[in-house]
Each structure stands twice: as structure tokens, then as C-alpha cells.
Structure 1
Amino acid sequence: MDLRRLELMMQVAAAGSLSKAATVLGIAQPALGRQIRKLEEECGLRLVYRHGRGVSLTPEGQALIERAGPLVKQLAAIPADLQLERQSPEGLVTVGLTPTVCHLLGLELLTGLKQKYPRLVVHVVSGYSGYVLEWLVGGRLDMAILHDARRSPTVAVDPLAAAELFFVSPGAETTFERPAQPTLASLGKVPLALPTHNHGLRRTIEYAAAKEKIKLDVRYEVDTLELLKQIVVAGLACTILARPAVLSELAAGTLNARLLHAPKLHTRLVLATAAQRPVTHSMEVLEHELRTLFARLIDEGDLYGIVHPKDA
């Protein structure tokens, strides 16, 4: 059934006259009459009858208006509804963040989105990069920020920033000697606590050490950031982390962090999405907010150790 003819029929029913309806619609009365006749042919029924005062609906015409009227109004409202959703997106988006990124911008991301897009619901799931990647591929997440992830047939990645890596040591005295100038070579001379090999940060450190033929003394392997930091605070080992992961401990004096040199090491932060997953407008809004936050953090690089990907 032709939607336009239904709309014309509704206008004729409201006006009670072909001539009045034609004037309101801005079309010639004969053309309007032809469209009504074609609608009657589609239905196989007479829908209006003419009389001296105009036109009236037949019982069949009245039934058509009652049944089709709400549908026509809903269809006519779709463009406006889509524009409203574009301006104020709604729905659920689930994003995976590593602990470092959560410390860096998690709260600011959620509060900013809530203020700008109150109808948008954002779920944040946090875990080490390897786990977050598994959740993304498995469909649990809509998007994620990963450390040093590569493009694959199942995952699309786009660089956002790079985080400088710091040698993190206990704030108190230790039973082992700490290097005066932390370099890659000095990492082989101190006990370390690191994530397991499943995760991007560990792979970055191991690759750099292997390239320089440095054997690391890894005493503890843990995949929780809080326990990793507790091990270092307790004076059991040192670790390698991006500065945002230890900001509160640095302020409290329980940890020290010095930039690694010779060479500098970085972990690349990439925006990752499932390659075959359709991108919704809500996801586009979240991506824009993430890019805006990272652009500001890059400008404040001295504070957070976040740099442009090209500078890593």
C-alpha cells in the first residue's frame, strides 16, 4: 500500500472536502481525486463518497483511517526521531579499559559523557590488555583501549597515544640496590614484578630486553595492577609502568617513578574494535570523547607521560 496515498487520504478525511484538502496540500484537486481512486483500487473497496457538502468516509474508509493512521504518524516521525537520537544518542555501549587507562581518564570519561549525553549508558570493564582483547573478540565489548595491540582479521586498531614507561621502585629502603639512572641494561640487575606474557606491556619490555640481550630477573608475575603495586610498595621488587598507573602512590610517597632511558620505552595505546561489528552512533560518540581526552593528555604530556604516537 502506497504510504503517500494513505497520507493524502488522511488529509481528505480531516478536511471533509477534496477542494479544502487540495488547498492545504498544495496540489490540484483532480490530481488528489486520482490518488484517492487509486487507493480505493488498491484496497478493492470504496473509501469515500461525495455529497453536496464535500466528502465523507465510508465504513471501510473509516476503518482504514483508524488502523493505518497511527502507523502513518509513526513512520512520518521517524526522520525527526533519528535526528533527535543523533543529537542526543541513547543506548548502551560497553568499553574495555586497561587499569592504567582507567586511572588516567576513567572517571573523567564517565562524568563528561553523562553531562553531554544523559541518555547514553556507558559500561566500563577493566582488565589487563590480553584479557580485554579476549573480551572484545568474544563480543562482550563494543570497543576497547589496548596496549601494543596489532591489527588482525578480527580486530581493527587505531593509535591514540603512547605512554612513556617508568622504572617504579619502593618509596622506602630496600634490601637490593636500585640503579641511580634507570636504563634498560639496569633492569637485569633488580628483581622485577611484571604482568604475565599474555599482555602488551610485558611483551614490549621483553622484546626490548631481548633486542639488547638483557636477561630480566622476574620474581613475580601477576595480572592485577593493585597487587603488582603492593609487591613494590612492600619492597619485594620493582616494576615497569606508565606514570598514570601510580599517580596516587607517587603523591603519597610510597612509590618512586623515574623515566627509563637508553633507550626510552613506550607502550602504544590503541583504540580497538571488532572488525565485523557494526559501528553505532553511540560508539562514534564514545570514540570522539576518548580522542578528545587523549588529545588533551598529550598536551599535558610532562605531567602524565602521554605523547603522540608518532613521538614514540
Structure 2
Amino acid sequence: MDIRKFDYFMSVAELGSFSRAAVSLRLSQPLLSRQVRTLEEELGLPLFYRNGRGVTLTQAGRCLLKNARTVRDAVEMTYNELNQLKSQLVGAAAIGMPTSVGRAVSVDLAQHFARHTPDVKLHIVEGLSSDIAEQIQQGRLDVAILYTPIRNQSILSDPVVVEHLVLVSAPGQGPDAPVSMDDLLRLPLVTSGPNQQLRRDLEQAARARGVQLNIAVEVDSLTSILQMVNVGLGHAVLPPSALVRHGLRDHFDVASFTDDIFHRTLYVGTGPQRSDAAPARQLAGVVKETLQRLAGPLTWDVIRA
């Protein structure tokens, strides 16, 4: 039942006239008459005696007037509560991200959910970027931070921030000036496996110059990459967020790059809605806001619309 019909009925009953009620409600009299007639048809009882001097309430009309305001207020309160539920985040939330991004984001994101959305059961998944992309496509994640937008109609990917990669070296072994791609090709590298997007990008740039990367060690673990770099086994190309935790930046030499290939966009991907999950679009909004809030020289730059 349209709750506005109660307002129309009460106005006619209190003013004793369809014409005066129509003026008060800023409706045409024919429209108001149809609305009240529809209410009477829904209830199956006449609410007014109509005469040339105006209207008077029938017994059914008096009964409805006695309770109409209470019913209207109860329905309105129910709608308000339901609308509040729609805006609240409740349920499960599985959010995935590359390990390097997680070093800057995970703790802040967990604190945000604990403070503002305690009814959400948060599950943060950190891993290789290729694994994160696979999991959101399989429906195991609600939201994912990605390095490459997924070409899938069921997954929406929005660019949010841009990383500027850095060369990470053992103390005393790093270059003193920004590094070019040609400089990098002369250095031994500690890098992830060939399935990772950054590795593929670097190999493509090397092939374009007719050479191969000088890979000293290949390992699919950010922690191990940093440990191997620290003991001098090679250099690593990493996002600056990989060095955020525990003051790691102070334990390495860090140099910037001169080539555009070392700029990477981070996307927030939203997967299909799971039955037990909080609204995925709202979760994605929280993740986007977190990435933007953490932007800075040690992480990434916000993409301006």
C-alpha cells in the first residue's frame, strides 16, 4: 500500500472537503479523489459520505482515522530502518591484494573496518598479483587490488592510484642517480617468477632492446626477495610500498627510474556479489578511499579525474 494514501485520507478527513485538501496537498482534486477511491477499494469499505457540502466519515473512516497516523508512522519508521540497513556494511568481506600493496594497506584497512563496520567479518588475502586476479575471477574474493584490469563482464575494474617503481639494493651497492632501463639490464636481479606482470613487463622491455634480463635469483616471495637483496645477491625492482613496514627503507639503497615502464596503475576490481557478503560496491569504495588516503612519496599517487 502506498503510504501517501494515508496522508491524502487524513487531509480530507480533517478538512472535510476534497477541494480544500487538494489545495493543502498541492494536488489536483481529480487526482486526490482517485487516490482516496483507490484506498477505499483496497480496504473494501467506503471511508466517506460524499455530499454537496463536503464529506463526512463513515464508521470505517472513523476507525481508519483513529489508527491511520499510527500506521503511517510505523510504516515510515520501517522504511527508514530498511534504508539504513541498505547503507550499512554487514556480512563477510574477502579483499585481496598483492603482498607489496598489503604492506601499506592491510593494517589501515583492518583498523577502518574494526572502527566503522564492526559487523563485517573481514578476510584479507595477500599474495602474488596473478593469484589475486585468479581468485576474484573464481568468485573467492569480493574486491581485489589489481595491476591489470580484468577483461570480464562480471568484474568491474577502476584505476585508482599509480605506483612509481624503485630499484632496491643492498646498503652501499645502489646507484647514486636515477636508473634507466639500459642501466637495469646490466645489473643482477632478484625477481619473481615469469607469471608475474612486473616480470613480464621487464622482459618485454629487455627483448625490445635485443637482450635478456640478468636474473640472479628467481623467487615468488617478497620477504625472500628483500632478504636476498639485503645480503647482496642482486637488486630488485619493487613498488615503494614494499618497504613501508618496520622502517625497511632505512635498510636498503633506493633509487628511482627514468623510464615510463616503471610506472604502474593499481586498479580496484569488484567481483560478482556473493550471497553472504557485504555489498561489493560499498566494499570497493572503502578500499579506494584507503588507497587514496595512503597516497604519498612512500606509496603511490592518486589518479585525478
- Please confirm whether the aligned pair reaches a TM-score higher than 0.5, indicating the same fold: yes
Partner AA of 1:112 in structure 2: H
Partner AA of 1:141 in structure 2: L
Q: Assess, with a 3 A threshold, how the Cα gap between structure 1 residues 201 and 184 changes in structure 2: closer, same or farther.
A: same
TM-score, length of structure 2 as denominator length: 0.69
Corresponding residue of 1:253: 250
Corresponding residue of 2:31: none
Partner AA of 1:307 in structure 2: D
Aligned length: 246
Give the distance between the partners of 1:211 and 1:309, measured in 2 at CA.
28
Partner AA of 2:289 in structure 1: T
Q: Assess, with a 3 A threshold, how the Cα gap between structure 1 residues 144 and 193 changes in structure 2: closer, same or farther.
A: same
For 1:160, what is the secondary structure of its paired residue?
strand
Structure 2 gap ranges (5+): 1-38, 45-58, 70-74
Deviation at 1:284, TM superposition (A): 2.4
Instruction: Work out which of the residue numbers 37, 56, 63 in structure 2 matches 1:21.
Output: 63
Corresponding residue of 1:303: 298
For 1:84, what is the secondary structure of its paired residue?
helix
Q: Do residues 119 (structure 1) and 161 (structure 2) align?
A: no
For 1:141, what is the secondary structure of its paired residue?
coil
Give the distance between the partners of 1:200 and 1:149, measured in 2 at CA.
12
Corresponding residue of 1:12: none
Whether contact under 8 Å (1:164, 1:243) holds in the other structure is yes
Instruction: Work out which of the residue numbers 279, 282, 305 in structure 2 matches 1:282.
Output: 279
Deviation at 1:213, TM superposition (A): 3.4
Partner AA of 1:303 in structure 2: L
For 1:124, what is the secondary structure of its paired residue?
strand
Give the distance between the partners of 1:263 and 1:140, measured in 2 at CA.
33
**Alignment RMSD (CA, Å):** 3.3
Whether contact under 8 Å (1:147, 1:269) holds in the other structure is yes
Partner AA of 1:127 in structure 2: G
Partner AA of 2:90 in structure 1: E
Give the distance between the partners of 2:68 and 2:139, measured in 1 at CA.
52
Corresponding residue of 1:234: 231
Corresponding residue of 1:38: none
Give identity over the alignment, percent: 22
Whether contact under 8 Å (1:95, 1:141) holds in the other structure is yes
Corresponding residue of 2:107: 107
Corresponding residue of 1:52: none
Whether contact under 8 Å (2:192, 2:199) holds in the other structure is yes
TM-score, length of structure 1 as denominator length: 0.68
For 2:94, what is the secondary structure of its paired residue?
strand
Give the distance between the partners of 1:150 and 1:185, measured in 2 at CA.
31
Q: Do residues 216 (structure 1) and 213 (structure 2) align?
A: yes
